[in-house]
Chain A
Amino acid sequence: MKKRILLICGCLLAASILPGCGGSSAGENGELNVYNWGEYIDEDVIGLFEEETGIKVNYKTYDTNEDMYPIIANGAADWDVVCPSEYMIQKMLDNNLLLELNYDNIPNIANIDPDYMETVKSFDPDAAHAVPYLWGTVGILYNETMVDEPITSWDCLWDEKYADNIVMMNNPRDVFAPALISCGYSLNSTDDAELQKAAALLTQQKPLVLKYTTDEVRDMMIGEKAAIGVIYSGEATICKDENENLQYVVPEEGSNVWLDCWVIPSTCKNKENAEKWIDFLCRPDIALKNFEYIYYSTPNKAMLDLIEDKEILNNEALFPGNEVLSRCETFHYLGEEAEEKYNDLWKQVLSE
């Protein structure tokens, strides 16, 4: 009998030690669990933050907003600070998943261009939950040597001469956006007839598509595996650095412009540390370090003054002019019912 009790105790002990491991390695000023997009920070910045604050950072990444949401919503892990896009922030707000920020702890927010704080109000009416981090557009990256004429329109995605040369993103809203825009509809459409028509276009396009992927577009375009890829603006800039034949264009019919912000989810256990993190990233020198590593457009106007190579400010992909932006639209959160509609239609397209 004694042996049995001993064994059970042993098991319980082992079970209780295992989750404790994480806690024991915390820094002198506690820890911070950061959940961010993949390839969305200069990882040296994490080290700098740890050095300056004595806070241990546990860092992990996700590929899409949709991957991140269920983790937060179901409380699958205690993330302290995350970086979703505007429509996802709206969805998280709707579901009471965000905490209000204490701006006294984020003095560096003064560096953020007030225009962007206005944009924040479009999805967070009190502008009390989100601090803009990076923004950009969605457009077409094409290889000049593999296409016959300069690309200016989404129409090329349906052009049969580019069969097996087209790479599309692979989550429902990003895939539907070009189709909806080509039909002349809003990329926030929830109208059944409009969505059906867009789905029909996507079904028609499917045989021409080489691959549906969000995270491989970059490598495929650099490696010249495809002529045309739908891609985020920041990634496009990195691709152009690697392969000079590549050109990025925001199609004339319009496109998606997005703004990613840091927010603190309700699963947060270290709110002050999370605010310190957000404040740190708003510092011009840190923002510049990030910018030079990931090349997305920044809402940090104090940082723009620090840029030495002013030439880069003329880069249309990084800093699109007002003329381009006026054609673009942000995603809105459309509600669960509409989300399911997109998802079901996307499955139908894929199962054709």
Chain B
Amino acid sequence: MYKKSLSYPYLLWAAAFIVIPLLFIVYYGLTDRTGSFTLANLAAIATAEHSKALFLSLGLSVLSTVICLLLAYPLALILSGSKIGKSGFIIFLFILPMWMNFLLRTLAWVVLLDTNGVLDSLFKLLGLPRFKIINTPAAIVFGMVYDFLPFMILPIYNVISRIDVNVINAARDLGANSFQTLYKVIFPLSLPGVISGITMVFVPSLTTFVISTLLGGGKILLIGNVIEQEFMKGTSWHVGSGLSLVLMLFIIGSMVLSSKYDNGEGNVL
């Protein structure tokens, strides 16, 4: 009873800031200007420019998730193998930038990647071909990877560092070489971390509009930008909410997938 009552502030929080806003989105998403029920806002995703924006967002966020995974997994492996003090320091280095506002960090990349910016000038000075990725999809993927990489590293590192050394020793005793140990023992055991890392990178990448506005020069329309435009440029909160609902399906899908793996493989730990 005591424990239960402790949860009321959180329930209140969840109701005020999660449930009620969600209900508003559902309400706006399923009504038109006059307030009557319609599915047109959901169907709006089928128009050429909206579906193009959605597929581009899906493509870029899958790409940035894969890159994050490829960068994070080896690092997490190396970290878990090194001494506590040293790995703690490297983890600290990865978390340190997160103390700064994410918007500021992205703006800093605009300055670094800009034409005649720091990197471009450096390339010019060294006589290398000009470094022009600003305002392209490549710059957006770059920004996503930079901003969300720590969210991939931390869960994988946590899971791997908690793997019982005896399990690995047993694998080696039974004749597995280091590749087999990695492939047959460590990787399956680290799957929950990988899955939660994927969710934590994929979801914000899919919905971002700040990174694409800043690093894409306003020239690349992601689904997040479409929704932002519907809300902020004063055209239609209804269409914006409808598109948000469609986007939620993808997010819920990725969450269902991850919870399935968490329940199965997660229990092993």
Question: Which residues of A come within 8 Å of B, CB atoms?
Answer: 3-4, 7-8, 11, 15, 64-67, 69-70, 73-74, 164, 170-172, 206, 209-213, 224-225, 336, 339-340, 343-344, 347-348, 350-351
Contact B5 A7 (CB under 8 A): yes
Give, as a whole number of angstroms, the nearest-CB distance from A267 to chain B: 16
**Is B12 positioned at the interface, with any CB of A under 8 Å from its CB?**
yes
Say yes or no: B221 contacts A350, CB within 8 Å.
yes
B233 touches A347 (CB 8 A): no
Whether A211 pairs with B135 at a CB distance below 8 angstroms is yes
The complex places the Cα of A307 from the Cα of B231 at a distance, in Å, of 42
Question: Contact: B236 with A210, CB < 8 Å?
Answer: no
List residues of chain B with CB under 8 Å of any chain A CB. Answer: 1-2, 5-6, 8-9, 12, 16, 33, 47-50, 52-53, 56, 114-116, 135, 217-221, 225-226, 229, 231-237
Give the docked Cα–Cα distance between A350 and B217 (Å).
11
Nearest opposing residue in chain B for A1, CB measure:
B1
Max count, chain A CB within 10 A of own CB: residue among B225, B234, B235, B237: B234
A344 to B48, CA, bound (A): 10
For the complex, give the distance between the alpha carbons of A164 and B136 in Å.
12
List the A side residues contacting B219 at CB < 8 Å: 206, 209, 211-212, 350
Residue of A at shortest CB range from B221? A350
| Contact indicator A343/B218 (Cβ below 8 Å) | no
A66 near B52: Cβ-Cβ < 8 Å: no
Instruction: State the CA gap A336–B32 with chains docked (Å).
Output: 13
Q: Given the known A-B contacts A3-B5, A66-B232, A210-B115, are A351 and B221 also in contact in the complex, defined by CB atoms under 8 Å?
A: yes
Which residues of B are found within 8 Å of A172, using beta-carbon distances?
Answer: 233
Known: A4-B8, A211-B135, A211-B219. 9 other contacts (CB 8 A): A11-B9, A15-B12, A66-B232, A66-B234, A69-B234, A73-B234, A336-B33, A348-B48, A350-B49
On chain A, the residues within 8 Å of B229 by CB distance are 343, 347
Contact between chains at A340 and B48 (CB < 8 Å): no
Query: What distance in Å separates the Cβ of B47 from its nearest Cβ neighbour in chain A?
Result: 8
Q: How far is the CB of A238 from chain B (nearest CB, A)?
A: 21
Please, how many angstroms separate the alpha-carbon atoms of A164 and B115 in the complex? Answer: 9
- Contact present for B234 and A351 (CB under 8 Å): no
In the complex the two chains form, is A213's CB within 8 Å of B8's CB? no
A267 to B231, CA, bound (A): 20
The residue that A347 contacts in the complex, of B9, B49, B114, with Cβ under 8 A, is B49
Kindly list chain A residues whose C-beta atoms are within 8 Å of the C-beta of B47. Answer: 344
B116 close to A3 (CB less than 8 A): no
A67 to B233, CA, bound (A): 5
A residues within 8 A CB of B114? 225
Residues of B with C-beta under 8 A to A344: 47, 49
Tell whether A210 pairs with B217 under 8 Å between CB atoms, given A7-B9, A348-B48, A351-B53.
Answer: yes
